[in-house]
Every structure is written in structure tokens, then in C-alpha cells.
Amino acid sequence: MDTEIPKLFGTSGIRGKIEEDITPELALRVGRAISTYLGKKKKIVVGYDTRTSNLMLERAVSAGILQGGCQVLSIGMVPTPVVGYATMKLEADAGVMITASHNPSPYNGIKLWNPDGMAYLQEQERTIERIIHENKFYNAPWEDIGKITDVSPVVNDYTEDLLGLMNIQPGLKVVVDCANGAASYLSPFILRKAGCKVVSLNAQPDGFFPGRKPEPSEANLQELMKVVKVTGADLGIAHDGDADRMIAVDDKGRMADFDKLLALVSAEIGGCVVTTVDASACIDRALEGVGGTVERTKVGDVHVAEMIHNIDATFGGEPSGTWLHPEFCMCPDGILSALKVIKLVQNRGPLSLLLDNIPVYPTMRDKIDCREDQKDPLMEKAKTDLPSIYQEVADVNLKDGVRISFEDGSWVLVRPSGTESFIRITLEGKTEDKARMIHEKAAKFIHELL
């Protein structure tokens, strides 16, 4: 049964500490499993970010792919969105990115991509896990072992296609912080080619991340915020380690609120936008103003991508800065996201003013200790009973935990953490008093069940 197969994939690929969770042996087996799953003579793009363990893992994954009779299209050190793009552009059968995204230096991981640039779906990941668990690999005979081809020039195609998609007028001053990650060369180069005056920070690839930690949090972006203000820049852009995310800093040196920024860009694009159950209702209000709609799905960019594909949405993203642009590629792309924000500022004025004009409700986030064996029964009870403890309930969404929307626009989400032993409460109340009332009732409900 599937439940007996050890789980390797989390919400964003396979990820963990080097030698403890992620080893060359595991990478070899993942490579063998991919070629077994796809069948011999298929083409697989392989890239990696700046981490010190990346060449070791890239060689191991590639060896496994070759052993299964498939071809490796080696793209070298590139941001994750370039791997997704190259998989699509080169009509490859899959893509592999060696990265741990925003995790610290001792971590690494493996993420897999479909021919359209979309991340592997859960059922595909489960198939890879099953092949590895059952040790049922295809081994090509000596005359059919795969070959490696250098496809790094496809980065030039990515650059030209991005610039062709976005018509940006020269003149804006942008500070870009690349976190010593995979976009260290490419993001500043593309922004300059687009006509921006670029000041670059932490733009030397280094797997120790000496400039700042790869997580683009407010605590880690203090230097960027100061440089934007001191240099009089129009905005700042920050990437995580593999540049599938983008965080903005406004012209006053303030880190942009994740939800507000997503709401701004969503309203600019219009149509049907996909986001996650933990995103603010300000996105709904922004889209209502332009005749657009919002669809919510589970937390995780793969769920956003799948929903975009299923309903032919115009745009999608998580509040974390992981945005998908289906008109270009189904892989989250922090560089294209940066260009979208730059274009927005160019069209509509200072980012600080745009952000300040978006009203938001008081927000609260809490987490309650919960053993892993308690999560499922607690959430089953929450699905049936939690809505009944509130009045004026307008909607109940059960796609990922329990999200209750109220008639005045307030909402609360109760969901189990996917990585830690917690139940998380996230909410917005129209007033401070409403927010406190919503939180107190949810917390009391959970504590009583526990």
C-alpha cells in the first residue's frame, strides 16, 4: 500500500540536510527512478543552484539518469525558473533542479518538472517514491547508456523571451539583492537589459550565502531596505537562493506586505487569479474592483500551478512571493515577477503609494502544539464542528484545513502544519475586536479537542 512507502517529497520537492537526509546515494536513486518512470531515450534537463553540495548531487542524479538509458541536458548553475523554461523550450521530457531554495547552506534538495514547466504533481512524486522503495530500476545495456549534452546557451533564449514579453521603458532605479544565489548573474543582467539602472547586492555566487541568509525575510533584508532608501531607488527586489521567489521593497525602504503586493499585481493582470487558502482577503477586494475573481487552493506552488492549469487562470501566487505566470511558463519565476512589479511601478507610480492605498484588516497568526497522531482526528472534527461556533458565516472552504469566511469580509483558517507538530491559526478581522474574538474561539476549540 502507498501508506507503507516512505515519503521523500514534501511541499516543494525532496529537501533536507546534506548527509543526514540528502546523500549522493539518494540522488543516484532519484535519477534512476526518473529514467525508469519516463522510459529509455527520454531527455531530462538538469540544473543546480550555488550550494556547495550541488555538483556532487548533480553528478549523482545525472549518473542515475544515464544508467536508465535517458539523455541529460546539462544546463549548469541557473535559477529554478530557467530549468522549468528550458524543459519546455527544448521539448524535454522532464527537468531536475538541485536546490533547497530558501533553506540554509547545510541543506539541499531535488525538485522535478514536467514538460510544460510545471512541478511534478503529488501522484507523480508518489510513483517516484514507489520505484525507489521497491528498488525496481531499469538498467540500460552498455550500448544504450545515455549521454550528456551541454544546453547552457538556452539561458540566452530565456533572457530574450522574458524581455520580449515585458515592454519596460528605461529609467527606473532598482536595487536587486540576489542572496549569493543562482540569480546572482542573471537577474541584474536582465534588469539592466530591460533598461533599469541597477544596483546589485550579494551578486557573487557563493553556497555559504555570506551576504545574507537565502530566506528573503524582513530580518534578512535590512541592508537592501537601507540601500533603497539611501540611493533614492524606485524599488528593491530580493530573491531567495534559487530565485523562484521575489520580494519587493518600496521607495521608502519598507518591505512590501506580501498580500498587498500580490493583490496589486493580481488586479493589474485581472481575470481569474489563483492563490492559497492562507492569503489575505485584500486580494479578493482588489480583484472585485476590476471585475476579476479569486480561486483558492492548498498551500504550495504545485497546487497553485495545478489549479491555474485546470481552470485556465490568468495568474497565480502565494503570499510568500512564489508567483506563476502561465503566459510564459508554469514554473514559479522570481525574475519575471520582478519585471511585473517594475512595470507596475512604471505605469502607476510609486510603490509606497500603491501599497498604502490597499486597505487591510488586522491580522493574527498563532500556532498550537499538536502531536502528529492528533492532527487528522482534530481536523476531521474541525471540518464538521468549527463553523458552528461562529455567527454570520458566509463560506466554508475545506481544500486545505478549514477556512471560514464571514459576511463582513473577516476570515479564519485552521490547518495542520505540513512540516512541524503544530496546528496553525491564521485570520483577518475587520476590527481588532473582531480579530481577537475569532482567534479566542478558534484557539479554545482546538485546546478543548486536544
**pLDDT tens for each residue of 296-309:** 999 888 899 999 99
419 pLDDT tier (thresholds 50, 70, 90): low
Contact 206, 51 (CB under 8 A): no
99 and 132: one domain?
yes
Looking at every residue in the chain, the average pLDDT score rounds to 95
Q: Among 11-20, 30-39, 147-156, where is mean pLDDT lowest? A: 11-20
64 and 195: one domain?
no
2 pLDDT tier (thresholds 50, 70, 90): low
100 and 239: one domain?
no
Q: Residue 74's beta-bridge partner residues?
A: 46, 150
85 and 142: one domain?
yes
119 pLDDT tier (thresholds 50, 70, 90): very high
DSSP 3-state assignment of 79? coil
Where is pLDDT greater, at 4 or 357? 357
The whole domain housing 95 covers: 2-152
Average pLDDT over residues 316-336: 96
pLDDT of 11 reads 77
Active site residue 101: yes
240 assigned binding-site residue? yes
- In the structure grid, which three cell numbers stand for residue 337, read together? 515577477
Pick from 118, 152, 186: which residue ends a domain?
152
Average pLDDT over residues 23-48: 98
Q: Among 3-12, 57-66, 245-254, 270-279, where is mean pLDDT lowest? A: 3-12
360 pLDDT tier (thresholds 50, 70, 90): confident
182 and 320: one domain?
yes
148 and 168: one domain?
no
242 assigned binding-site residue? yes
Pick from 324, 356, 388: which residue ends a domain?
356
Pick from 103, 128, 152: which residue ends a domain?
152
Question: Residue 139 to residues 149, 207, 275, 308, 434: CA-CA distances in angstroms?
Answer: 20, 33, 42, 37, 62
Average pLDDT over residues 60-81: 98
Length of the chain: 450
315 pLDDT tier (thresholds 50, 70, 90): very high
Rounded Cα distance, 107 and 236, in Å: 27
CATH number of the domain bearing residue 215: 3.40.120.10
106 and 168: one domain?
no
DSSP 3-state assignment of 100? coil
**Tell me: the pLDDT tens digits for 234-252?**
999 999 999 999 999 999 9
142 and 235: one domain?
no
pLDDT of 235 reads 98
pLDDT of 420 reads 77
- In the structure grid, which three cell numbers stand for residue 14, read together? 525532496
For the cut 90, the answer to whether the pLDDT of residue 58 exceeds it is yes
For the cut 90, the answer to whether the pLDDT of residue 389 exceeds it is yes
Which residue out of 101, 105, 280, 337 is catalytically annotated? 101
383 and 443: one domain?
yes
Pinpoint the alpha helices (H) of 392-431: none
pLDDT of 1 reads 46
Q: How far is CA 49 from the centre of its chain?
A: 15
289 pLDDT tier (thresholds 50, 70, 90): very high
CATH number of the domain bearing residue 382: 3.30.310.50
Average pLDDT over residues 312-334: 96
Count of the separate structural domains present in the chain: 3
Question: Residues near 450 by Cβ (< 8 Å), separated by ≥ 6?
Answer: 368, 370, 374, 378
Average pLDDT over residues 98-127: 95
62 assigned binding-site residue? no
Q: Which backbone phi and psi does 111 adopt, to 5 degrees?
A: -125, 140
pLDDT of 418 reads 72
